[in-house]
A = this chain, B = another copy of it.
Amino acid sequence: MKNRIYIKDLHEHIGTQVTLAGWVDVRRDHGKLTFIDLRDATGKVQMVALPKNEAAHEAAGTVRPEWVIKVVGEVKERPEKMVNPDLPNGDLEFVVTELEVLSPAESLPFDLDTDLNLDTLLDYRPLTLRRTRERAIFKVQAAIVDAYRTFLNNEGFTEFQAPKLIGADAEGSGEVFEVEYLYDRTAHLATSPQLYKQILVGVFERVFSIGNVYRAEKHATSRHLNEYTSLDVEVGFIDDHTDIMAIETRLLRFLCDQLRATCEAEFSICGAEVPVVPETIPVVKLREAQELIFQETGKDIREEPDLEPEDERWMCEWSSREHNSDFIFITHYPMSKRPFYTYEDEDDTGFSKSFDLLFRGIEITTGGQRRHTFESVVEGARQKGLDPENFAFYLQAFKYGMPPHGGWGMGLERLTARFLNIPNVKEAALFPRDINRIDTLFSSGSERDTEVTGQDDPGQ
């Protein structure tokens, strides 16, 4: 739009006439003066229309919240006693001389600034995403993705595009969605890019991908989505899983530094703080964690193969209290609970060189070392009762030489939610898909979302 400047750049134009465009946040009429708070992608500014600019004043009197307008006006410094340090651009005034309505808007169905329940928030997503809080959430999400990629590119990783349409659900890792493929064939939606990223370790050694994955599970929790964005990494030529944990620790440090540098305002809007990532994140084996919980709380889960959500919360509180770390690695899950490609610890038979990373009460990453010889992968599949024939394509990578390797999967929406202390992961998904909703609620109300306790999926 010709000559338009952004609100964030107003201070460079004091004393001049400029063009702005954006949405009306609010209009206030004070006697003969009409005030409009204008919002664009970069900020907000208060504008005033004076009766002497007749046409502009008249037009200003008609606008309502969310109308899209283009204005020409003069940028002035406010007299010192009028400065409002609590407002963005509170030291400026913008006197409107021309106002053009680009698009009117209907009356809003509710006040955007009030607390909204989750259904309203999602039913009106195209509107509610314009709220200050929602814009902050997805600005932070974009910043996470950007930092993730920057770090990995700098570390010699190659980004790849993983297919989401897959043939068989070879991995058997969870419920999968079926797709009617061409000529009446059945395909499936990938639950992770796991097998592809391993194949690509054989090509580029270090790879990452960012993309949607799918879980056809009928969850109704605050932690699960049926479609989410998986941040995946796979690294060749490792000594063991601790190499992967070391890379992830450095990545998290970089990520948090970036968020601190670029998203201070967004964290403040959400009432959250960027965590400090310690030089070394505490590491405990699952059995040690279970023993700790038993010793300190009396709850005996020492025979369980995994932690329940309340145990994860307890371990995070312990880590924060004892190690001043919001993060904690839990390692050595039993082989029986991990997928077929998981690497067994030679020195701790029955237990895997795998880890979960817990952050602020919840698992945000599942990772570990993988089997890398052909024989070991085939054996792993057989042990899980899977038919290696179904993996023929994937097995080629191992037939033709694979290095020791490992990696992780991380759910972007869950990570975003934890960073910003958002209780429900759906609020950290632009357009969440769940048992009740694909953009709009399904007709029946009988399966409405209710919080239930359940085990977490790895990686989501």
Residues from 6 to 50 in A contacting B, C-beta threshold 8 Å: 6, 21, 23-24, 40-42
Which listed residue, B127, B164, B396, touches A227 by the CB 8 Å rule?
B164
Query: Does A399 count as interface, using CB distance less than 8 angstroms?
Result: yes
Q: Pick the contact of A179 from B106, B130, B189 — CB < 8 Å?
A: B189
Q: B126 and A163: CB pair below 8 A?
A: no
Chain B: which residue is nearest A135 at the CB level?
A: B203
- From A8, which residue of chain B is reached at the shortest CB distance? B156
Q: Tell me which of B200, B218, B238, B439 contacts A182 (CB under 8 A).
A: B218
In the complex, what residues of B have CB within 8 A of residue A399's CB? 105-106
Q: Is A145 an interface residue when CB atoms closer than 8 A count as contact? A: yes
A409 to B117, CA, bound (A): 35
| A99-118 contact mask (Cβ, 8 Å, vs B): 1 or 0 | 00011111010000000000
Bound-state Cα–Cα, A125 to B196, Å: 11
- Please give the distance in Å from A447's CB to the nearest CB on chain B: 7
Asked if A103 and B439 sit within 8 Å, CB to CB, the answer is no
- Which residue of chain B has the shortest Cβ distance to A237 in the bound complex? B1
Given contacts A158-B138, A212-B161, contact A431 B196 (CB under 8 A): yes
- Identify the interface centre among A23, A126, A212: most chain B CB within 10 Å of its CB: A126
**A165:B203 contact, CB within 8 angstroms:** no
In the complex, whether A258 has a CB less than 8 A from a CB of chain B is: no
A95 CB-CB contact with B under 8 Å: no
Pick from B4, B108, B153, B178: contact of A180, CB under 8 Å: B178
Q: A202-B126, A205-B41 are in contact. Are A183 and B435 (CB under 8 A)?
A: yes
A66 within 8 A of B: yes
Known: A163-B430, A400-B105, A447-B183. A205 touches B153 (CB 8 A): no
Residues on the B chain within 8 Å of A106, using CB: 374, 399-400
Q: How far is the CA of A58 from the CA of B251 in the complex (A)?
A: 41
Establish whether residues B183 and A403, one from each chain, have CB atoms under 8 Å apart when the complex forms: no
Q: Which of B185, B393, B398 contacts A439 (CB 8 A)?
A: B393
Query: 12 A-B residue contacts at CB 8 Å?
Result: A40-B205, A41-B156, A68-B403, A103-B398, A104-B401, A125-B199, A126-B393, A162-B431, A166-B439, A183-B442, A187-B438, A212-B212
Within 8 A of B (CB), among A188-241: 189, 196, 199-200, 202-206, 211-212, 214, 216, 218, 226-227, 229, 236-239
Alpha-carbon distance A145/B183, docked complex (angstroms): 33
**Closest A-B pairs by Cβ, 6 of them:** A105-B401, A41-B205, A66-B401, A126-B396, A126-B397, A167-B438
Q: Which residues of B contact A397 (CB under 8 A)?
A: 126-127
The quantity of this chain's copies bound in the complex is: 2
Q: Is A433 an interface residue (CB 8 A)?
A: yes
Within 8 A of B (CB), among A374-404: 374, 392-394, 396-404
- A216 and B404 CA atoms in complex are apart in Å by 38
A88 CB to closest chain B CB, in angstroms?
A: 17
A residues bordering B, Cβ < 8 Å?
1-2, 4, 6, 21, 23-24, 40-42, 66-68, 102-106, 108, 124-127, 129-130, 134-135, 138-139, 141-142, 145-146, 149, 153, 156, 158-167, 177-183, 185, 187, 189, 196, 199-200, 202-206, 211-212, 214, 216, 218, 226-227, 229, 236-239, 243, 372-374, 392-394, 396-404, 412, 430-431, 433, 435, 438-440, 442, 447
A161 and B430 within 8 A (CB): yes
Residues of B within 8 A of A226 (CB): 165, 182
**Chain B nearest Cβ from A123, distance in angstroms:** 9
Closest B residue by C-beta to A373: B103
Q: How far is the CB of A240 from chain B (nearest CB, A)?
A: 10
Q: Report the bound CA distance from A183 to B438 in whole Å.
A: 13
| Also in contact, A237 and B4, with CB within 8 A (given A203-B129, A373-B103) | yes
Q: CA–CA, A145 to B211, complex, Å?
A: 13
What chain B residues lie within 8 Å of A202 (beta carbons)?
Answer: 126, 129-130
Q: CA separation between A399 and B65, bound complex, in Å?
A: 12
Query: Which B residue sits closest to A395, measured CB to CB?
Result: B126
Is B160 a contact partner of A153 (Cβ separation < 8 A)?
A: no
Assembly CA distance A2 to B246 (angstroms): 13
Interface pair B41/A204, CB less than 8 Å apart: yes
